């Protein structure tokens, strides 16, 4: 049985009160952006080219200035 046939069978087995919810979910999948893989992201980076602005140093400084110190809470239960 194909995946499409399985989906149709599952839809047919749904109570009519849940069909609208199923339709909304399927429609959300159609508009949801796909998850970017590292490989596709690297391929995209190759198409971008090189830095062409004159504000590289300013951008680097903004990144460095916005960094904060990491805070770790090693207590797994905050109620203890």
Interval 32-76: pLDDT, tens? 776 677 787 787 777 776 667 788 888 888 888 888 887 777 777
The answer to pTM > 0.85 is: no
pLDDT of 80: 66
Q: What is the pLDDT of residues 9-24, one digit of tens each?
A: 999 999 988 999 999 8
Cα dihedral 8→13→14→16 (10° resolution):
100
Of 40 and 2, the structure prediction assigns the larger pLDDT to 2
Q: Looking at residues 23-27, what average pLDDT do you find?
A: 88
Residue 74 CA, chain-centre distance (Å), reads 28
CA 10/CA 31 separation, integer angstroms = 22
């Amino acid at each position: 049985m194909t995946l499409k046939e399985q989906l149709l069978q599952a839809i047919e087995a749904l109570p009519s009160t849940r069909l609208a919810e199923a339709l909304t979910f399927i429609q959300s999948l159609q508009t949801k952006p796909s998850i970017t893989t590292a490989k596709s992201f690297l391929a995209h980076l190759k198409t971008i080219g090189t830095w062409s602005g004159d504000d590289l140093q300013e951008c680097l400084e903004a990144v460095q200035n916005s960094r904060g110190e990491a805070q770790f809470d090693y207590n797994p239960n905050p109620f203890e």
